[in-house]
Amino acid sequence: MTTELRYLHAFRAAAAAPDEEARAAARAALLAEIEVAASSPSAQPAAATPSAPAPAARSAPAVPAGGRARRRRSLLAGLGGLAAAGAAAVAIALGTGVGGGDVRPQPASAAEALRAAAGAASAQPYVPLTPGRYWYVKTSGFGDMTGSDSARRTMSVTLPVTTERWTAPGRWSRSRTAIGTAARFPTERDRRLWIAAGRPWAGTVHDDRGAPSPYDRDERPFASDRLGTARPEDLPEEVERLAERVRQIADAGAAAYGGAGSAGREQVWGTAVRLLAQGDAPLPPRTRAALFEVLAQIPGVTSRGTVRDARGRSGTAIALTLFGSLREELVVDERTGTLLETRSSGRDGSFRGRTTFLASGVVDSVRARP
């Protein structure tokens, strides 16, 4: 058996290493082969000469001459019993690849997915925002518009919005917003009024300049998030210290908006997500990685498995139910540690909003794009 296992190891080592899903499929196939072999008389080692053919691990449907069954027999020749079953499982995994059979691995938990994203994020390159340059972010989502027609009848409409922003410490910023035409309405009355009014807002572009960003060494980098005097690059990289800092920011935000001054998991979630979105300045990779770890510690966070964002990119959906009625989701690319999208919906599944992160990077002017 030692010699047989050595042959099996040599066969396995010569092939390209399968990914985790292929290993899971191979493991399940191996267990099935062992079960069949254990219950079959042919599973016993044969007292035959070395030239005798090895017993088949399991019966298979007939295939055309020269097909897969014959190739498998040539691979397994001389590897009887358990070694034959193991080699068959490896051959199945390497030959079919991901999704090649009915066996599927269990989806990762939310904590596992977030920690995988953390590991990937920590390895990403970092370009700091230096003087004279701008931080560029492009997103798409939806905007809720409300106005009145000539008869002062109020109407509401939701339209797709694509936004580009250029920000820099102590300098004027630029914001360009392009509004689409695919409208949604809360009621049929709103739809009729909007059409009669000439479809206001739809198809327009707004290009604005903003006052110098409060992000500076001695000012708040994210005024709405109450980050105090810390710059994004000064945020702790250690998970526990960053978790405490995020809670302080959330507490300050809760107090500023009339709360009791002690933030719950909803505010901690929201603060961590806003930092991950990197709206005003880039975060160092290890800080972004620690933020994923902070999210993994929040009670009630769950994984919804693999989904696609509005651009068709694949990622893992991480969800948390807020205040008992609103579900927030992040779509995260575990391979790169990138936040692809945020979503919100009601308990009944009704759509509430979406922000898709399309591009970001450090550029040389308010006209440049990465």
Residue 59, pLDDT > 80, answer no
Task: Name the band, by pLDDT with cuts 50, 70 and 90, for residue 60.
Answer: very low
74 and 120 share one domain: no
Task: Name the band, by pLDDT with cuts 50, 70 and 90, for residue 184.
Answer: very high
119 and 268 share one domain: yes
Task: Name the band, by pLDDT with cuts 50, 70 and 90, for residue 53.
Answer: very low
Residue 189, pLDDT > 80, answer yes
What's the pLDDT tens digit per position in 235-279? 889 999 999 999 888 887 777 666 655 668 888 999 999 999 988
Residue 147, pLDDT > 60, answer yes
Q: What is the reported pTM?
A: 0.67
Q: Which of 75, 106, 137 is the C-terminal boundary of a domain? A: 106
What's the pLDDT tens digit per position in 272-308? 999 999 887 899 999 999 999 999 999 999 999 999 9
139 and 273 share one domain: yes
Residue 212's pLDDT is: 81
336: exposed, middle or buried (Cβ count in 10 Å: 0-12, 13-18, 19+):
middle
Q: Which of 56, 83, 106 is the C-terminal boundary of a domain? A: 106
31 and 121 share one domain: no
Task: Note the Cα 323 to chain centre separation in Å.
Answer: 23
Residue numbers of the domain that contains 356: 114-363
155 and 91 share one domain: no
Closest CA to 309 of 270, 261, 342, 336: 342
Contact of 308 with 286, CB cutoff 8 Å: no
Q: Which of 87, 106, 125 is the C-terminal boundary of a domain? A: 106
177 and 55 share one domain: no
Contact of 29 with 105, CB cutoff 8 Å: no
Top mean-pLDDT range of 39-53, 224-238, 306-320: 306-320
User: Which regions of 287-350 does DSSP assign to beta strands (E)?
Assistant: 302-308, 314-322, 326-333, 338-346
What's the pLDDT tens digit per position in 333-346? 999 999 999 999 98
256 and 350 share one domain: yes
Residue 356, pLDDT > 50, answer yes
207 and 149 share one domain: yes
Contact of 252 with 267, CB cutoff 8 Å: no
| Choice among 110-114, 235-239, 345-349 with the minimum mean pLDDT | 345-349
Residue 17's pLDDT is: 45
Residue 77's pLDDT is: 36
> In this structure, is residue 368 part of a structural domain?
no
Residue 97, pLDDT > 80, answer no
Task: Name the band, by pLDDT with cuts 50, 70 and 90, for residue 100.
Answer: very low
Number of domains in the chain: 2
> In this structure, is residue 226 part of a structural domain?
yes
281 and 222 share one domain: yes
Residue 148's pLDDT is: 93
Tabulate helix, strand, coil % of the chain (nearest 5). Answer: 35, 25, 40
